[in-house]
Structure 1
Amino acid sequence: MAQQVTNFGRFYTAIRAMSIIGDRDEVKRQLVWQYTNGRTDSLKEMTRQEYDRCCDDLERKNGYRDLLRKERSATLKLMQKAGIDTTDWNRVNAFCSDPRIAGKEFARLSIDDLAQLRRKIRAIDSKGGFTIKAEREAARKPEQPKQQVIIMPYTTRQA
Structure 2
Amino acid sequence: MGRQINNFGRFYLAIRAMNPIGDRDEVKRSLVWQYTNGRTDSLREMTREEYDRCCAELERLYGHREELRKERSATLKLMQRMGVDTTDWGRINALCQHTRIIGKEFARITAEEHRELRVKLRIIERKGGLRANPGEARKAPPAPRRKAVSKPKTITFNINNITGIA
Bigger share in helix: 1
The count of aligned residue pairs is 141
Which residue in the other structure is 1:134 paired with?
A: 136
**TM-score normalised over the length of structure 1:** 0.73
Between 115-124 and 21-30, report the one with greater CA deviation: 21-30
Per-residue CA deviation, residues 71-121 of structure 1 (Å, 9 max, x unaligned), is 111111111111111122222222222233222221221112211211111
CA RMSD of aligned residues (A): 2.8
1:32 equivalent in alignment to 2:29? no
Per-residue CA deviation, residues 3-25 of structure 1 (Å, 9 max, x unaligned), is 93343332222122225455543
Amino acid at match of 2:140: A
Partner SS for 1:38: coil
Which residue in the other structure is 1:69 paired with?
A: 69
Q: Percent identity?
A: 65
The Cα shift of 1:141 comes to 9.3
1:119 equivalent in alignment to 2:122? no
Q: Aligned in 2, Cα 1:110/1:129: closer, same or farther, shift over 3 Å? A: same
Distance in 1 separating the partners of 2:5 and 2:48: 6
Which residue in the other structure is 2:78 paired with?
A: 78
Which residue in the other structure is 1:8 paired with?
A: 8
**TM-score normalised over the length of structure 2:** 0.70
Partner SS for 1:30: helix
When Rg is computed on C-alpha atoms for both structures, the one with the higher figure is 2
Query: Structure 1 regions of 5+ residues with no counterpart?
Result: 143-159
The Cα shift of 1:38 comes to 2.6
Query: Structure 2 regions of 5+ residues with no counterpart?
Result: 144-166
Distance in 2 separating the partners of 1:130 and 1:141: 19
Amino acid at match of 1:88: D
Which residue in the other structure is 2:163 paired with?
A: none
The Cα shift of 1:62 comes to 0.4
Which residue in the other structure is 2:54 paired with?
A: 54
Distance in 2 separating the partners of 1:108 and 1:124: 22
